Amino acid sequence: MADRNLALGATTLRDRLADGSLRAGELARECLAAAEAGRDLEAWAWLDPDYVATQAEALDAYRASGRSIGPLHGLPVGIKDIIDTAGVPTENGTVLDAGRKPEKDAYVVTRLKQAGPLIMGKTATAELAFLGPPKTRNPHNPDHTPGGSSSGSAAAVAAGMVPLAIGTQTGGSVIRPAAFCGGVGYKPTFGAIPRTGVLSQSPSLDTVGVFARSVEDAALLAETLFGYDEGDSASKLAPAPRLLDIARTDPPMTPNLAFVRQPAWDTADQDTRDAFGELGEALDPICDEIGLPGAFGEAIRQREIVNFAEMAKNFHGYAARGADRLSAEMQAALQEGNGIPARDYLAACDWPEVLNAGLEAFFDRYDVIVTPAAPGPAPKGLQSTGSSAFNGIWTLCGTPAITLPLLQATDGLPMGVQLVGRRGDDARLLRTARWLAQRLSEEG
């Protein structure tokens, strides 16, 4: 579990590292000790204590020189093992990439290094960031799944091995594992963080996200990663957002919240139904229950069509090199993707605009949508990473989403409250999320 410094939030650690009351070497040693104590969780795909110690020494020497430091100076960060790191293994969770060491950093790693953190290591991922069960265990109960595919990032942060981590989401791979492991997971607006150098599974859906222990900490990390890169056509040239500053401010007016059951509500377990019923009572009268337009009932399947068709194209090389070495889940998905007619794929690609048109009226009236992060707490067993039915719609729409660890199941496992905002309005989402977390904490 986390030691005395790691019990603090990333923003507090950042300030202590900046004023010299905490040294990067001290914090790095605590992280390594926590990782060693939790090694049975298998959150790391690659972790080299010498690599960590060398960085920490250099970071402390840099600060002692009196030169200007970056906004993440000395903060340990875990990076999902589908994100390229120059000279450091990036094996994409598959034996077909065993020993792979990229020559160039991904865009997000370049941005990260400019901010001055300590790169702790590469966090474990499901095979090719899909549904194959990962090796990672849930820090709350190792007999339950940590979720996927960003399982290592979620578990490492929740277990106190590292204050911050980066992951990706194509279906529910940030929100779901964060909810299962009891952390904060934030998936920004589609295209806000360039994906150049990140394994491409489904370019129409893949989104880089972050894991932290608070909304402020998530904003701190995400703000350094937002930007534009010509290598990613989904990224946009726009002014850098002030995510952390805005997240820390109080809303000018009491937010209006909209509770949505989603088309997959019938899969929600009793714990989720009861917990969200109590949450609705606690938020009355600022939270209305609303229904989504009928078209949203088709959204889960349309997202699958886009995902599987693009995955069949992008992972063709893996299948050609060794289809028999891919998991049964991957082989089945590639087979389905290969069989999707072009007309169905092209039609599915039109759905984000259709769905977002339906959301515009909601976001004119409400600040955020409130909905479960998953059908329930982390399922028992390690054969599945759980359902993304409560996440996939928002991934398809490209809307920002965040999960907060505000609820608990009867078995003691955490459950996440997912908030969804308007596309491009990430700062407002984070501000509302922090406000909600603070309000519920004060009440109880």
| Count of C-beta atoms within a 10 Å radius of residue 300 | 19
In angstroms, the CA 110 to CA 92 distance is 19
Catalytic (active site) residue 80: yes
Annotated catalytic residue: which of 80, 153, 200, 387?
A: 80
In angstroms, the CA 399 to CA 421 distance is 6
In angstroms, the CA 358 to CA 354 distance is 7
Is the preceding peptide bond at 149 cis, omega within 30 degrees of 0? yes
- The distance of Cα 55 from the centroid of its chain, to the nearest Å, equals 25
Annotated catalytic residue: which of 150, 153, 173, 387?
A: 173
In angstroms, the CA 315 to CA 327 distance is 13
In angstroms, the CA 49 to CA 76 distance is 12
Query: Token pair for residue 227?
Result: 């930007």
In angstroms, the CA 313 to CA 291 distance is 36
Q: What is the length of the chain? A: 444
The SS3 assignment for 126 reads: coil
Per DSSP, the residues of 330-349 read HHHHHHHHHTS-HHHHHHHH
In angstroms, the CA 222 to CA 5 distance is 22
In angstroms, the CA 137 to CA 234 distance is 33
Catalytic (active site) residue 236: no
- Check: CB of residue 52 under 8 Å from CB of residue 121: yes
Annotated catalytic residue: which of 149, 150, 151, 200?
A: 149
- Check: CB of residue 346 under 8 Å from CB of residue 310: no
Catalytic annotation, residues: 80, 149, 173
